[in-house]
Structure 1
Amino acid sequence: MNSQKNKVVSIVLGTYNRLFFLKLTIQSVRKELELLNQPCEIIVIDGGSTDGTIKWLIEQKDIISIIQHNRGFWKGKEIDRRSWGYFMNLGFKISQGKFVCMVSDDCLFVPGSLKNGLIQFNDLLEKGNKIGGIAFFWREYPFVESENYWVGRTFEKVFINHGLFLRQALEDVDYIDEDSFHFYHADGDLSLKIIEKGYQILPADNSYIEHYSHANTQLRTTNFSKQKADFLKFKEKWFHLAVHERIKIGDAIFKNFADSKHTIDYYKNLSSNNRVRDFFKKVIKKLISLVKNREYYEKNFLNDKFIKKISIQNKKNSFSISNLVLRFDNDKVHGDEHFYKSELKEIREETLSTYDDIYKGYSERILIHVPEDQHSPAGYSYFNNLYQTLNFMGVPVEKFQGSDDLDIKFKFFKPTLFLSSDHESYLSQFDWTSILKYKEKNQFKVGLTASLEEYGNSPLYSRLEDYSNGKVDFFYSFRTSEYIEFRKEYDLFKTFNYRIFNIEFACNPLYHYPVENNKKEFDFVFLASNNPDKVKRVSKYFSKIVSQYNGVIAGPWWPFTKNFRINPEQDRVIYSMAKVGLNLSIPEQIQFPCELNERTYILAACGILQLIDNPCILSKRFSPESLFHSKDASEYFKNFMFILKNYPDLTHIRTNAFKEAYKKHTTFHRMEKFLLELRSH
């Protein structure tokens, strides 16, 4: 065996019950070492595999194999599980290379990556740089997004998930922390320890890894169950690195790279593998189970002639959201109509003037949980409008999004109030431990949406019982006060001494106002996300309109506008190009006085003639002289034809709607009411 000083690199990887993938990885490693053509070694640590891996490893004479039984029973007792750090250190500590390359057993090297990484590393060292590691760019299959690869960062410092370490740097920090982390974040911790010793860790110039993310889903699930505990330990240890308010505990550097060798094709050929196929079957089955009315959805929507009509109509009009919007520059639109005249401008300007910085110096500092628009289009629109409104009114306010860390917001923004949603998709994005810890030392209130069990949530009593132990201070709702009084299920909040504030949907004057001098290019427009609750009514109410008239239907999750993103300024321009703004309610809004959808207020504020069905609360929010409402699909179509025929004579309807929206249904009205009630709470 070559002496330590002659070894250039030690390839170290761990494995457990992934023989099929391990063979591909070792094959890839061997090809890299052939290209390198220098003294090297391969070290594999096996965690006690039962799928034939151990037998196969013993037969590979170019591999140093370490067997560390980490599961199962021995002499009637369960074997103590050791950490990933302990597992990998077995290989690191016996390695003899100047450099140690860490990869996973479900990875492939893009050909030449190891050689490229070593050349970069040596060049930097020869120039006198103190380099501790080079992080290889990587991406995950099957979730491959074009040619995007990335390296991870933590506290704005690059860490190595796959890549090269200087062996001396590993020795200087006493290798991986074996005790603090079960599996996750130990790699980030190792990199930060190396950086703390004065080394640099840099992204690779030309080294890439293809990672198969679901080689062993059961193992991944077992490891992921410990992720939260690992993350809290990691954050506690390194939180002093949060030196400014925009720092991220986890983000990435992205890089485009076109692999001419098509390395990932090795994985594409695995689609027939039983484990992978079974995994995706389970995922698809779970997703389908979450879709209401899925039989109707699949039968009458995905294959419905209605959708084909819209698609054909869009092609006929050469319809493209991106192209459409690029043709217009907000108010600099030239056409033949002058609806947005001085009177309406004055109303908007007076509204903005009234609320501009009106609450500057307000005592509360509000943190609002704003979801990503692709995650929840409706949630994004609602919470982002609240954020923009409070900011305009002078209230100290910041957004909290899923990629943010709550403790960093606490440290730098110092909020006194946090608004989020009582839904698992929101709650999973922050840690209650951090909130309770912050509450111990600060005046801090938490408000969640008042969500009933029937809206897909867990039992209300158990939630309120949990929240009453100091977690949540109040609830609020976009539902109407009439509905909250009407539904006896909300009485349970009173039982737990909780108040429910009302923050109904509204128009936002910062974004929602008419486009000046616009030209009507379409008969109708309907901008809305697509979901099963809308399917029956959309098909029933719109079929005749779509088949006979020229218009636009677009929004998130429609098959013909897949890349549509919510953008209030864009949407305002699109609305302005149509004579009729179509609007439909979901069945619940027809049956109960629960809410008017946000679209009702937006169309009114944008000065669009609105055709709506018959939501229960409509007459309590708008007068009959401000829009056209219809009791059924037949009347809806008749009203549509009437509007088109008499469009020039209906300006007063649009004007009434605009005035009513701006008089009492703006986000300024909603938030002022909330702030005043909150102050007296």
Structure 2
Amino acid sequence: MKILYHVEDVRNTTTNQFLYRNFADGFEALGHTVQPISFADDFAAKLKAEQPDVFITSSFKTYFAHTDFKALNSARASGLNVVVWVEPLPGFSYGIYGLHTEPGKIEKIKAGEWGDAYISCLDDARFDAAFLEATGAHHHAMPLAANPKLHFPENLPRTYDVAYVGNRLPRKEHTFQSVLFPLKKTRRVAIKGYNWSTLDRVINKFNRVARARRLPLPEIRTPNVITLDEERRLYSSTKACLNFHEDAQITLGMDVNERTFKVPACGGFEISDNPKAVRKYYAEDEMATVESEAEWAKTIDYYLADDALRERMQKKATERTLREHIYPKRCEKLLGLVAKK
């Protein structure tokens, strides 16, 4: 089967680009071929030249604007299956943007002029019902996952007590100040990602400008940014890997971030917030969770004091992840959706 995947720019490092790479690896592991179609491509010409069986796109404003709906629906009439990653609806959004904020999106879905299957990371019957009521179409949960091509355990000594890999987002700053940074006083802590220093922020701003202006320049790597291989080895060599979600994710309890799956896939023991959503995928004897920021310190101390318990839980979580929560499994589910068309 041939899959065409909508991306902004094949060179960039946005979240959607990583998602494309992970799904591409998943489809290829199943024996399918995947090609990107970027905003720089002539949409109609690319669609005609590639003749894909499945086209995957997003409801984000820029993707919506770079979709030639006349060409798309002509191809659908000839057998093309279209899958759309959709944004949240009011009451389920983490910000001011959603499926409802751009005119024409919901109308396209209602008219049957966009997709054959609509997916998002929100894994909850409440959103399924709201989506059906608003659009007349069914929504299907498509949680993130681990990429077995990149995420697998390595037999390494546990060098660090605690590790966190993620960007220093302003909306998570209160958690970093109250939970993460105090650990540096008493534990061996590794913190990696974007914007953890002034130099990081300057370099990242330059990279964003270069991408926005489509300058033919390579990404400049900041001191705290690590490669995918380094990330895997860090999880494998840390006693306790922390996972912080967005406040709205914790409140709604409908989805988890990709880190939830990556840590155990790499052989790391994970302590996470967002327990309502985490328990959809991992049992209490597989992954530790905290109910509030006040519980972080004692929970970390508890598990760091018991090596055997940590290793038992990590082993179970790793086995479940590599069995159930990998991108080839998600790809199988996605293809199953369009097969029912």
Range class of TM-score, shorter chain? 0.7 to 0.9
Aligned partner of residue 617 in structure 1, secondary structure: helix
CA positional deviation for 1:481:
3.9
Look up the equivalent residue of 2:62 and give its one-letter code: S
How far apart, CA to CA, are the structure 2 residues paired with 1:528 and 1:379?
A: 16
Aligned match of 1:492: 134
- Give the corresponding residue for 2:114: 471
Q: Which runs of 5+ in 2 are unaligned?
A: 205-220
How much identity, in percent, do the aligned residues show?
Answer: 19
CA distance in 2, matches of 1:678, 1:480: 19
1:446 to 82, 85, 98: 82
Match of 1:587 among 239, 247, 251: 247
Residues 668/600 of structure 1: CA separation in 2 closer, same or farther (3 Å cut): same
Separation in 1, partners of 2:9, 2:282? 31
Structure 1 residues 676 and 435: CA distance shift in structure 2, 3 A: closer
Matches within 5 A, 1:38-437: 362=1, 365-371=2-8, 377-436=14-73
Which residue of 145, 154, 158 maps to 1:506? 145
Q: Deviations over 1:40-69 (max 9, x none)?
A: xxxxxxxxxxxxxxxxxxxxxxxxxxxxxx
User: Structure 1 residues 453-462 or 664-673, which shifts more?
Assistant: 453-462
Count how many residue pairs are aligned between Structure 1 and Structure 2. 312
Alignment of 1:454-465 (within 5 A): 454=90, 455=93, 456-457=97-98, 458-459=100-101, 462-465=104-107
Equivalent position of 1:633 in the other structure: 293
Deviation by residue 1:489-522 (Cα, 9 ceiling, x = unmatched) = 552122xxx2223221111212111113x13332
Query: 1:542 corresponds to which residue?
Result: 180
* Distance verdict in 2 for CA 1:530–1:435, change over 3 Å: farther
Q: Which runs of 5+ in 1 are unaligned?
A: 1-361
Asked if structure 2 preserves the Cα contact closer than 8 Å seen for 1:523 and 1:580, the reply is yes
The Cα of 1:389 is off from its aligned counterpart by 0.2
The answer as to whether partners of 1:405 and 1:430 remain within 8 angstroms in 2 is no
Q: Residue 652 of structure 1 corresponds to which residue in structure 2?
A: 312
Q: Per the alignment, do residues 387 and 614 of structure 1 end up closer, same or farther by CA in structure 2, a change over 3 Å counting?
A: same
Distance 1:673 1:578, change over 3 A: same
Shift of 1:409: 2.9
Match in the other structure for 2:194: 556
Structure 1 CA distance for aligned equivalents of residues 84 and 307 of structure 2: 44
| TM-score, scaled relative to structure 2 | 0.80
Q: Which has the larger radius of gyration?
A: 1
Cα distance between partner residues in 1 of 2:322 and 2:43: 35
Q: Quick one: distance in 2 between partners of 1:558 and 1:669?
A: 34
CA RMSD for the aligned pairs? 2.8
Deviation at 1:534, TM superposition (A): 2.3
- Give the SS at the match of 1:626: coil
Give the Cα–Cα distance (whole angstroms) in 2 for the partners of residues 400 and 539 of structure 1: 41
Q: Are the structure 2 counterparts of residues 572 and 540 from structure 1 closer, same or farther at C-alpha, using a change threshold of 3 Å?
A: same
Report the equivalent of 1:608.
268
Q: Report whether the alignment pairs 1:482 with 2:125.
A: yes
How far 1:469 moved relative to its partner? 5.8
The one of the two structures with greater contact order (alpha-carbon pairs below 8 A, sep at least 6) is 2
Does the 8 A contact of 2:244 with 2:273 survive in 1? yes
- CA distance in 2: counterparts of 1:369 and 1:556, whole angstroms: 25
Change (3 A) 1:579 1:592: same
What is the rounded CA distance, in whole Å, between the counterparts of 1:596 and 1:493 in structure 2?
24
Task: Find the aligned partners of 2:194 and 2:63 in 1 and give their Cα distance.
Answer: 19
Tell me the CA shift for residue 478 of structure 1. Answer: 1.7
Q: How many Å separate the matches in 1 of 2:89 and 2:183?
A: 37
Aligned twin of 1:526: 164
